[in-house]
Structure 1
C-alpha cells in the first residue's frame, strides 16, 4: 500500500479546491520547464490532495502553450498517484447538454504544436494508450458526480484539437458524423499520454459548455454563453471533487489496470546507450524503471 494523493488539473473555470486543510501553494521545480503555476496542496477528509490550474491563475496559458510535460512531472515529483483532469468542452451529442459532465474514456488526438513525450533520442520508450484513461478512477469520478446531483455520462470520445480557435462548421460535422466523437476540447492531449508515461492513473471529466457549431438550433460557439455555463460547471466540479477522497481512500493498492506499471516493458534503448542527460530529467517520471542506471 502507498498513500493516495489525488491531483486535480483544473481547466477553464476551476481555479481551486474547496475545503482543503493545511492548504498552501508551493513552487515545484521541473527539468521540463516551469509548470503552469504553483501547486496547491493540502488534505481533504484525510486524503492528500493537489491542485494545479492548467492555464495558470488568471488564465495566462493558451491550450498550445500549456507546459504539459512540466505539469505532469511536477505532480509526479510531489507524490501524486491519481490525476483527474477537469476541462471545459463542446458537445457533439444532443443528450450531452451544456451543464452535463462526461467521463471520457477515449481520445482522438488532432494536436500538432506540442511536445508529446518525455522520451526520445537517448532513451526511447513506447507505452500503450489503447485505453488512455483509468477505469477505476473514472468510475470514482462518475459516482462522485452522480452523488453530487450532476447529470453525468459514462464513457465518451474526446476530440483534442489544437485551437485556440473553435471548429469550423465542416470540422464540427466531420468529428460528429464521420468520426463518431462525443465531445471536443483543446487540452487533454498530450496530457493523458504524458500521465501514462509517468505511470499515473488519469481520468478526464469533460464539463460541457456548448454544442460546438454543428447544432442547427444553436449555431456557432458564443464565448459569452460559454462563460455563463462555466460558472455553474465550476461549482459542480468542486462538488464532485469534494466526494472523491471518501471513494478513493487514503491507502492505495496497485492499480488493477496497470496504469502505475505502464513502463514495465516500454523502455527499448539498451542501458549502455542511454543518454545520461535525458535520464537525469526522467528521475521522477521513470525513476522506478531507471533506478539502476
Structure 2
C-alpha cells in the first residue's frame, strides 16, 4: 500500500478517475487496495456505496449507477448525488458506460460507441445543482453544452477501443429517454428524423451535471439491441439485452483500463482548470 501511494504522490500529472457504470461493471473492474465509502451529499445519497482503489497506479472511484442490485429505475437515480459525490472525492474525470439501443442499420449489437453529442428527451429529472433549493450552491448557472463531452477524454476512450481492435463507432448522437419503458415505433421514427443514432435511459442529466461540477466527462457505450424500427429481427426482451451486456462487459472494462493508463501519462492541469472556469464564468446571479 505504501509503495503504491508513494508512486502516486510522485506522479507529475495526478488525476483521479470516477467510473460510473452499469450493474455488473463493478465485478469486472479490478481495483487494488479497494475501500468502500458511503458518501453524503447536499442532494441525498448516491445510488450505492463508492468503491475507491487503484487501477494501474491511478486513483479511481467506482459507482454502480442503478445500484449493485439494479433496483433503481432510470428516473429515480439520484444523478445529482452521484456526481456531487465524485466531486467531493476529488475526481478530475468521470468515465461512464451505458447500454445503448440502435436506431441505425450500421450500428449493431456488440458494437462499441463513443458518442460525441446528445439529445435530452427526459422530463422528470433534476437538471442542475443550482436550483435555488436549501443546501444547493448559490446562483444560477447557464451552462454551455457544446461540446457535450470532454473531447480529449473522449478521444482517449476511442483510441483505447481501437488499440484493442474492437468494432467502434467514433461518433454518435445519443438520445436519452425517460424510461423505464421502451419507445414505440412512431417514437423511433421521430427520433431518427431528429438525427439520433442511439437510445439510452441514463446519459442525461449525468453528462450535464458532470460539466456543471467542473469534471471532465466522457461516455463509452455497448450496443445491446436494435430498436423496434428495425423489422429484420424480433424485438429484444430485457433479459436478452442483459445477456448481451453481461457477455460483452469485459470489453468495456479493457477499454477503461487502457484509457486510464494512457490518460495518467499526460498533463491535464490546463483542461481541469478550464472546466472549472467554464462553470464560474456562466453564473447569472446578482452581486450587490
The normalised TM-score by structure 1 is: 0.88
The alignment status of 1:141 with 2:152, answered yes or no, reads no
- Unaligned stretches of 5+ residues in structure 1: 273-293
Correspondence for 2:130? 119
Q: What SS does structure 2 have at the residue aligned with 1:262?
A: helix
Partner of 2:22: 11
- Determine helix, strand or coil for the equivalent of 2:149: coil
* Cα separation, 2, equivalents of 1:184 and 1:137: 22
Alignment of 1:39-50 (within 5 A): 39-50=50-61
Q: What CA distance in whole angstroms lies between the structure 1 residues aligned with 2:275 and 2:166?
A: 27
Across the aligned residues of Structure 1 and Structure 2, the Cα RMSD in angstroms comes to 1.7
Matched residue, 1:214 = 229
Q: Which residue is equivalent to 1:255?
A: 271
Q: Give the one of 178, 195, 202 matched to 1:180.
A: 195
Per the alignment, residue 71 of structure 1 pairs with 82
CA distance in structure 2 between the aligned counterparts of 1:34 and 1:105, rounded to whole angstroms? 30
User: Cα deviations across residues 46-87 of structure 1 (Å, max 9, x unaligned)?
Assistant: 111111100111112110000000000000000101111101
Distance 2:83 2:228 in 1: 32
Give the match for residue 290 of structure 1: none
- Cα distance between partner residues in 2 of 1:231 and 1:147: 22
Q: Is the 8 A contact 2:23 2:69 kept in 1?
A: no
Q: CA deviation at 1:267?
A: 1.3
- Gap change, CA 1:204 and 1:18, over 3 Å in 2: closer
Structure with the higher helix share, 1 or 2:
2
Going from structure 1 to structure 2, the CA distance change for 1:13 and 1:218 (only over 3 Å counts) comes to farther
Q: What is the DSSP-based 3-state SS (H/G/I as helix, E as strand, rest coil) of the residue aligned with 1:129?
A: coil
For 2:216, which of 194, 201, 225 is the aligned residue? 201
2:187 to 153, 158, 171: 171
Q: Within 5 Å, give how 1:152-163 maps onto structure 2.
A: 152-163=168-179
Is the CA contact 2:92–2:272 (under 8 Å) kept in the aligned structure 1? Answer: no
2:241 to 226, 229, 232: 226
Aligned counterparts of 2:287 and 2:89: Cα–Cα separation in 1: 27
Q: Give how far 1:259 is off.
A: 2.9
Change (3 A) 1:24 1:192: same
* Structure 1 residue 224, shift from structure 2 partner: 2.5
Give, in angstroms, the shift of residue 160 of structure 1: 0.5
Q: 1:58 aligns with which of 66, 69, 75?
A: 69
Which deviations, in whole Å up to 9, do the C-alpha atoms of 1:26-60 show, x marking residues without a partner?
11111111000111111111111111100111112
Gaps of 5+ in 2: 1-11, 133-137
Q: CA deviation at 1:17?
A: 4.9
> How many residue pairs were aligned?
271
Comparing 224-233 and 162-171, the one that deviates more: 224-233
Give the Cα separation in 2 of the matches to 1:70 and 1:28.
9
Aligned to 2:135: none
Q: Distance in 2 between matches of 1:97 and 1:78?
A: 37
Q: What's 1:291 paired with?
A: none
Alignment correspondent of 1:22: 33
